[in-house]
Amino acid sequence: MLNIPFNKPHLTGQEHANMAEAVANGHISGDGSFTRRCHLFLEQHLGVPRALLTTSCTHALEMAAILLDIQPGDEVIVPSFTFVSTVNAFILRGARPVFCDSRPDTLNMDEKLLPGLITQKTRAIVPVHYGGVGCEMDVIISLAEANDITVVEDNAHGFSGKYRGKLLGTFGALATQSFHETKNLHCGEGGALLINDPSYIERAEIIREKGTNRSRFFRGQVDKYTWVDIGSSYLPSDLLAAFLLAQLESLETIQAKRKSLWELYRQGLTVWANDNGVGLPVVPAKCEQAFHMFYILLPSLESRQRLIAHLNERGILSVFHYLPLHLSEMGLRMGGKKGDCPVTEDVSDRLLRLPFYNDLGPDDQNRVIDAVTSFIL
């Protein structure tokens, strides 16, 4: 029996042909025809004024922090239960992270805690839609508006998920996507900045192009291009855009497959989970999730570690997820203390993600379900 990995990057079959076409076009640096087609797809699909491909979600977040003109001493409210990039992007500009604990149901930023975290220095709130299930955006947006704070959605997991019928990534002034190979749609390494507030568009193009107005030059809006601002090289090669376009154009098929995988896990695990005090993902009725992952919440760290070993013995790789950022080496240096985010500290010990990828066949998925449900807690 072959081992079942945790993730396997999916190929639609069109990637090679698209990349060959990019090579034949003679333009494989950034912003070629495939990049333009990806931008158009994202803008039309999401209904955002401007989408810009980036080399990663990390880089899209860094662009967002530059666009917000984050200065040393500014405060940015971030979840503790997230990937380092959500926070690092703002630390790089000198911000102080203010960690917000998670809701015990969706594991998203607990919006009820925000009023106690907002100060005169708060410049941004960065909700992460964990597992592609939307945060409480109504509350977050209205608190942000009332306090003149900008919302940057880290939508790394949530492409095509919705909150109250509106697509994730369309709520904040800025939002970021990841197209890393662990995501529903990917190009190995990649991302996008979604710009919902059009006043950021021109400067975003400049920052992405090394601080030059090269994009305006290519559109014939200026006679020559020059250095106008700070910036870096945040645009991917058109080869990657060619790969990504194949994935974007298969969005519906990819999402339908992931939905059926997710439902099969839910059906196969519900009785065992209820009988054993194991939590399954919670998707509130107002959220249409993006089917990014399937996790379970074991009763304790000890049972989680034993289940990892039990699955390993059966050739199945399962993995835990984020460690609380406020208790990481860097988080502690920034003043984080045990007990600051009790829900995050608790779920981080108990959460386990099961193999979840488009090419997971029914036999293998049933093998995972059988292995999990044969585990004695």
Ligand X SMILES: Cc1ncc(COP(=O)(O)O)c(C=O)c1O
Please report how close the Cβ of residue 191 comes to ligand X at its closest, in angstroms: 5
Least Å from the CB of residue 163 to ligand X: 16
C-alpha–C-alpha distance, residues 283 and 9, integer Å: 25
Which stretch in 28-36, 80-88, 106-114, 164-172 sits in contact with ligand X by CB under 6 A? 80-88
Shortest distance, position 58 Cβ to ligand X, whole Å: 3
Q: How many CB atoms lie within 10 A of CB 108?
A: 26
As a whole number of angstroms, the distance between CA 347 and CA 352 comes to 10
| 128 is a contact residue toward ligand X (CB under 6 A) | yes
Q: How far apart are CA 338 and CA 316, in angstroms?
A: 33
Report in angstroms how near the CB of residue 62 gets to ligand X at its nearest.
10
User: Is 86 an interacting residue with respect to ligand X (CB under 6 A)?
Assistant: yes
Of 27-66, binders to ligand X (CB under 6 A) are 56-58
- For residues 180 to 219, the per-residue mask of contacts with ligand X, x marking binding by CB under 6 A and - elsewhere, is x----------x----------------------------
> How near is the Cβ of 113 to ligand X at its closest, in Å?
19
> Pattern 164-183, binding to ligand X, x per CB under 6 A?
--------------x-x---
Residue 106 binds to ligand X (criterion: CB under 6 A) = no
Query: Of the two residues 212 and 322, which places its CB atom closer to ligand X in the complex?
Result: 322
- Is residue 154 near ligand X by the rule CB under 6 A? yes
* Interacting span for ligand X (CB under 6 A) from 15-23, 67-75, 78-86, 356-364: 78-86
Round to whole Å and give the CA distance between 231 and 206.
Answer: 7
Interface size with ligand X, residues (CB under 6 A): 13
Among 149, 151, 156, 204, indicate the residue that binds ligand X (CB under 6 A). Answer: 156
Which part of the chain contacts ligand X (CB under 6 A), choosing from 79-87, 118-126, 222-230, 279-287?
A: 79-87
Nearer to ligand X, 83 or 265 (CB): 83
DSSP code string of 263-282: HHHHHHHHHHHHHHT-B---
Per CB under 6 A, the list member of 82, 122, 212, 250 interacting with ligand X is: 82
Which residues make Cβ contacts (< 8 Å) with residue 170, sequence separation at least 6? 46, 47, 48, 194, 196
Verify binding: residue 162, ligand X, rule CB under 6 A: no
What Cα–Cα distance (Å) separates residue 216 from each residue in 55, 166, 206, 211, 228?
Answer: 21, 31, 9, 12, 12
293 forms part of the interface with ligand X (CB under 6 A): no
- What span, in angstroms and rounded, lies between the C-alpha atoms of 215 and 151? 26
- Give the SS3 label for residue 60: helix
Helical spans, DSSP H, in 68-185: 84-91, 114-117, 137-146
Query: Exposed, middle or buried: residue 306 (CB in 10 Å: 0-12, 13-18, 19+)?
Result: middle
Least Å distance, CB 132 to ligand X, is 10
**Computed over its alpha carbons, how large is the radius of gyration of the chain?**
21
- 101: how many CB neighbours lie within 10 A of its CB? 22
Q: How many residues does the chain have?
A: 377
Interface positions with ligand X (CB under 6 A): 56-58, 82-83, 85-86, 128, 154, 156, 178, 180, 191
